[in-house]
Chains A and B, each alone.
Chain A
Amino acid sequence: MVLKIFFPQCCNKADSGLLVGHWLPGQDSAVVLAVIHYPFIPGQVKQYIHQVGCVGVGWKNEEAGGEGKTKEEKTGEEGDKVIFVHYEQRKVMLSQLHPTDPPVPLTQSTSELRQVFGTVSQSESLFFLDKYDDSPVKLTHWQSEGREGSIIVELMKQASTPVCLLTAWILVVCSLSVSVSRILNVFPLRFISSKLCSCVQLSYRTEHLQTVSSPTRATSHTDYMRKANIFMSFLLDVTLGLLLIYWLYRENRVGQLANALLPAADRVAKELEELLQWLMGAPAGLKMNRALDQVLGRFFLYHIHLWISYIHLMSPFIEMILWYVGLSACLGLTFALSLLSDIIALLTFHIYCFYVYGARLYCLKVYGLTSLWRLFRGRKWNVLRQRVDSCSYDMDQLFIGTLLFTILLFLLPTTALYYLVFTLLRMVVVMVQGVLQLTVDFINSFPLFALGLRVFRSYTLAEGVKFSVLCEEPGTPLHLMMDINPLKFSSVVQTYRTATYSCYPKDSWLALCKKLFLGELIYPWRHKTTKID
């Protein structure tokens, strides 16, 4: 059997002493964690080793510049091969092997690499003593030159607890006040707030802040990364929001926007009116049923007229409203974008209404037609059995049914055209809203911290390891260098994406086409009510 010894690179140049490490269960390998130098008292060393839970390997490391040649004598079996795998202890200590499972005790069944990584990271207590500590046992390991620490990190750790407590308290107060106001009218407010993107986004962000500001420290790697990602995404959001505010308010762009809004709404209304006039004439050369055409056209024209009157009524307040809405971008760019999406939805409400009217009319017509077509052929829909059965009708039933069928059939093109036009308009608005929602989603879920870690400290997120052969001389054992193979960028994004209420297309293309054909109302973007990863 080949004996594998994982040897830390920092101990290559150490003075001679005792090697301390672990045997890996089930594999023929040992992980060397540190070197205890001469002179030492064996009793104290035994006690220390027992305390930190390692195994003291009782062989000498005749170092000072050379490689330990006496290691092969340990097992005493002839013909044994030894492989030395050199690893950089600091990197292996700080890295996480992916896929990160919940930490299980290292048994025989876990893979060898996972056992190596697990052994090193679980031996933290061994690495506490550095060369400046006054202890009877002198060690060499990755931290023996002095324990690693950074002032910024320490300061942030100290500051984080009171900040977390403060944020949690603020959030509790806010949520209490919101829930108190909600008691007043429960149903309408809840329904409206579930439809408005900005309310959904706000609730989502409060949940995030609650996660981040919990005063308990993150125990597992996944929790830690999640908190860090949420925090970074929040920071990015707020920064972008503040930039947006700066840009908006610097040259009074808000005023310009408000002044441009009313003429824009007027123009949209005018275009719609022209469109309706075109439909009421002979659109694309098609001949419409004049009476129905006039009725529908006039109905929609009056609707537009009402809408424009309402907009004009609101015009003095628009600038003030926009000003305050712009200020709300300090809560984050995502909030501003979702507010924009809501404003677009409100401003194009008449298009939505037209679409609903057109769709309902068309839907009724199609259902009527299918039912009367069945009557035409002497069949009926059996509601009990959910199938089509033959049925004998009376003469007058047949007569009226045929009449109605003919009427509906010849009125179909007119209704279909109106339906088509308004559905297209509605699709345009839905696309715009969808793009905004996708941007918001992207900012919400993008794991900025994980990517930053991957770029600057690629060894922390490890997909696996790489080996390279160091020196090869006949007669000496094989020396390999074990490097960390970092996770690919796509895997980083996939693993550490924050769970979002992402909007995604509810139906496939085929289902969508079928719904369009039948005239059912379409809500193509659906918010997931429960978060998924």
Chain B
Amino acid sequence: MQNGEHFGMEDETYTDIDGKAISLECQSHSGFCREFTVSSAKVSISRVMVYTCAVWMTAYIIFFFTEVDHETLLVIGSLGVQVSSSYASGRESTDFIEMDKIKDIVINEAIHMQRVIYYLCILLKDPSDPSGVSSVVPLFQSSKPRLNCLVKVYRSCQEILAKC
């Protein structure tokens, strides 16, 4: 046996007591000196990095497609009201409500979890009941501004609605 000779890897695969694969390496330094190394498979750092990156990328992509960038309310007297939200991906979802269907634009109070919040909403007319309200369309759902902001928008809208 030469110095530093390694025994060839035998065809026999070794496992530990739980069944996980381990490898045995025998190194013979000299006639009376041998070294045995038993190593088990480790999780390499590149694998960990890849998994972490994948999770973060997935989270970012979900955020990219669902997060709202800005919301717009366009009031055109005697034509209607347009509500649109634009997302981080550039996609825009728009809804136009004609003036005939709109009863009023009001600020409503709501109890949400442990808080009382104010939100601006459009009241739609009920076709069967002239004085009733068929449904409520809430505005600025993602931004959820406070009362001072809402009052400013409300006053402006009421000016236009009063004219027509």
Contact = CB atoms under 8 A, between A and B. Distances in A.
B100 A112 contact: yes
Contacts of A113: 98
A480 B98 CA distance: 15
Given A83-B79, A467-B79, A2 B164 contact: yes
A1 B94 CA distance: 27
A180 B164 CA distance: 71
Contacts of B100: 111-112
A485 B79 contact: no
A464 interface: yes
A485 B92 CA distance: 10
A165 interface: no
B94 A466 contact: yes
Nearest to B82: A467
Contacts of A467: 74, 76, 79, 82, 96
Contacts of A112: 79, 98, 100
Contacts of B11: none
Contacts of A466: 82, 84, 94, 96
Given A2-B164, A112-B100, A464 B79 contact: no
Interface string B34-73: 0000000000000000000000000000000000000000
Interface residues of B, number: 14
B77 interface: yes
Interface in B65-119: 74, 76-79, 82, 84, 94-96, 98, 100-101
A465 interface: yes
Quick one: which of B79, B100, B101 has the most chain A CB within 10 A?
B79
A1 B78 contact: yes
Interface in A490-531: none
Interface in A1-40: 1-2, 4, 28
Contacts of B79: 4, 83, 85, 112, 467, 480
Interface in A441-468: 464-467
B94 A83 contact: no
Contacts of B101: 111
Nearest to A85: B79
Contacts of B77: 2
Given A2-B164, A467-B82, A485 B76 contact: no
Q: Interface of chain B, helix or strand or loop or mixed?
A: strand
B164 to A, nearest CB: 6
A111 B96 CA distance: 13
Given A464-B95, A466-B94, A83 B164 contact: no
A473 B82 CA distance: 21
A480 B78 CA distance: 13
Contact of A2 (B74, B78, B95): B78
A465 B78 contact: no
A28 B84 contact: no
Contact of B96 (A1, A2, A469, A485): A485
A28 B78 contact: yes
A111 B82 CA distance: 16
A109 to B, nearest CB: 9
Contacts of B94: 464, 466, 485
A206 to B, nearest CB: 42
Contacts of A1: 78, 164
Interface string A134-158: 0000000000000000000000000
Nearest to B100: A111
A348 B79 CA distance: 65
A111 B101 CA distance: 9
Contacts of B74: 467, 469
Contacts of A85: 79
Given A111-B98, A464-B95, A465-B96, A4 B78 contact: yes
Interface string A220-254: 00000000000000000000000000000000000
B94 to A, nearest CB: 5
B76 A480 contact: yes
A458 to B, nearest CB: 13
Contacts of A478: 76
Interface of B: 74, 76-79, 82, 84, 94-96, 98, 100-101, 164
Given A85-B79, A469-B74, 16 more contacts: A1-B164, A2-B77, A2-B164, A4-B78, A4-B79, A28-B78, A83-B79, A111-B100, A112-B100, A465-B96, A466-B84, A467-B74, A480-B76, A480-B79, A485-B95, A485-B96
Interface of A: 1-2, 4, 28, 83, 85, 111-113, 464-467, 469, 478, 480, 485
10 contacts: A2-B78, A4-B79, A28-B78, A111-B101, A112-B100, A113-B98, A466-B94, A467-B82, A485-B94, A485-B95
* Closest A-B pairs by Cβ, 8 of them: A2-B78, A466-B94, A464-B96, A485-B94, A467-B82, A465-B96, A111-B98, A2-B77
